[in-house]
Structure 1
Amino acid sequence: EAPRCTLRFVQESDIDDEALRQNRIDLYIGASSWMEPEVKTQQLLTTRFVGLARQGHPIFDGEITPQRFIAFPHIAVSRRGLNHGPLDQALGELGLKRDVKLISPTFHSAIFALPGSDLLLPIAEHSLWRANRLGLGLRQFDIPVPLKTVMVVQAWHPR
């Protein structure tokens, strides 16, 4: 409980440590990234990315290979509006490229595009419990390319 606290979710930038230093934000929570030495960080959790699709999606009709994975349209999640990230780098190393048809600022909004479509959503596994509780008829699968584990941290400036 924090009765005098106001939470504001803001767009991520390339220089979040500067926003912390300049008192534009009080707390950063997100994937670990490089911050200036004076910024304090604390690891919250580690997670991995998995795929999410509607139940009955044709991706489940056979073995999920990298080639079948990229054969369907994808959702990219980026608070910066980017259509590429670590998954695209991993696919590129295999000479593959996915077709991003939708860019969403959050996983939470992206999951609503899955029912009734053939879109695939790479999603942080720790976010799935929320998606599963909504009863949208979604199914998880392993992404068929090696991806690094993601560390989620909180960071603040000790001002």
Structure 2
Amino acid sequence: MRRLARFDLNLLQIFDAIHSKGGVSAAARHLNLSQPAISHALAKLRDAFDDPLFVRQGNKLVPTPAARAIAGPVREALRGLDAALDAAASFDPVQSTREFRIGVRLSGEMPRFSSLVGRVRHDAPHVALASVTFRRRDLVTALANGDLDLALDVALPSDARLCRHFLGTEPLVVVARKGHPRVDGAIDLDTYLALDHVVATARPHGPGIEDMALERMGLGRRAAVRCQHAITAWQIIAESDMLFSLPRSHAEVLNAVWPMQLLDLPLPVDRGGTYLYWHQAAQADPALEWLRRIIIDEMSKPD
């Protein structure tokens, strides 16, 4: 604590900018400071930590092991300080120009993200929203350092650093084209298993929740096509006699543009549900509290 009392905390912001932007010039532009001022601050940082912190490789300053070790804690501390300062002030959504970064997995962006835009734009016309993909193993770090403000995902292993709110579950539906020779308004399990299926996922392999449910029943289906986007799968279904399963809210968005048959899934599946995640350090941030309320109001679904 005595060492902290003598330390210029502004240097940590400069350290974070150099680390995240990859150089003195980029950090100077980011902080709206002169390059000599950043260089002078870097010299102070090197003296304080008794380490070069960044070494030049080509056109970039590369962090040393010591810099990599402190980068995460420094970013998290700065984020916590920002939240504490924000908590002392009120948040006015009408006047705010803040950008909010919401972590959304590719498969969940539609309609989860789109459903928020109208509500947020109505209440806060000048804010910016960004839907950002993320790796689950990096979620805690991304929320701690501000790369993400909030995140939407399935149930993940508990972590004391994260807060979460259950948003609810929704059923899967089966999609078939209109005029399908074997499907007209409903589908039974025998027909479901007899037809080929399209699977839409960013994962290069692995079963879906339908496959896991069928395996528990001692059954299986044939996934004839695997693609990355629900829109692509929808197009394939429109031009074939295959089937495609996806959450009902996703299907309703696509069906409004390109009508299909939406059918009840003829087997029971485990509906894990969706959660809203945020970091404990951001718990007191009034802007994020406002956004969390909107997300919970817009996206909570009954079981």
Regarding TM over 0.5, the answer is yes
1:112 match: 235
**3-state SS, counterpart of residue 190 of structure 2:** helix
Matched, 1:158 2:286: no
Structure 1 or 2: more helix by fraction: 2
Change (3 A) 1:157 1:62: closer
2:162 match: 39
How far apart are residue 34 of structure 1 and its match?
Answer: 2.6
Q: Deviations over 1:99-120 (max 9, x none)?
A: 1123333434432221111221
- Listed as ranges, the gaps of 5+ residues in structure 2 are 1-120, 282-303
Change (3 A) 1:87 1:158: same
- Listed as ranges, the gaps of 5+ residues in structure 1 are none
Greater RCO structure (CA 8 Å; 6+ sep): 1
1:68 match: 191
Change (3 A) 1:33 1:53: farther
Cα distance in structure 2, aligned partners of 1:12 and 1:106: 18
1:126 match: 249
- Aligned letter for 2:169? T
**3-state SS, counterpart of residue 153 of structure 1:** strand
Structure 1 or 2: more strand by fraction: 1
Cα distance in structure 2, aligned partners of 1:5 and 1:35: 30
How far apart are residue 35 of structure 1 and its match?
Answer: 3.7
How far apart are residue 79 of structure 1 and its match?
Answer: 2.9
How far apart are residue 149 of structure 1 and its match?
Answer: 2.6
Cα distance in structure 2, aligned partners of 1:57 and 1:11: 38
Cα distance in structure 2, aligned partners of 1:46 and 1:62: 24
Aligned length: 158
1:96 match: 219
For residue 210 of structure 2, the aligned residue among 68, 87, 104 is: 87
Cα distance in structure 2, aligned partners of 1:100 and 1:42: 34
Conserved? CA contact 2:176–2:183, under 8 Å: no
For residue 137 of structure 1, the aligned residue among 230, 241, 259 is: 259
Q: Deviations over 1:113-134 (max 9, x none)?
A: 2111122111101222211210
Conserved? CA contact 2:199–2:225, under 8 Å: yes
Conserved? CA contact 2:185–2:261, under 8 Å: no
RMSD of aligned Cα (Å): 2.7
Conserved? CA contact 2:140–2:161, under 8 Å: no
Matched, 1:51 2:160: no
Change (3 A) 1:76 1:5: same
- Aligned letter for 2:274? V
1-10 or 78-87: bigger deviation: 1-10
Change (3 A) 1:73 1:29: same
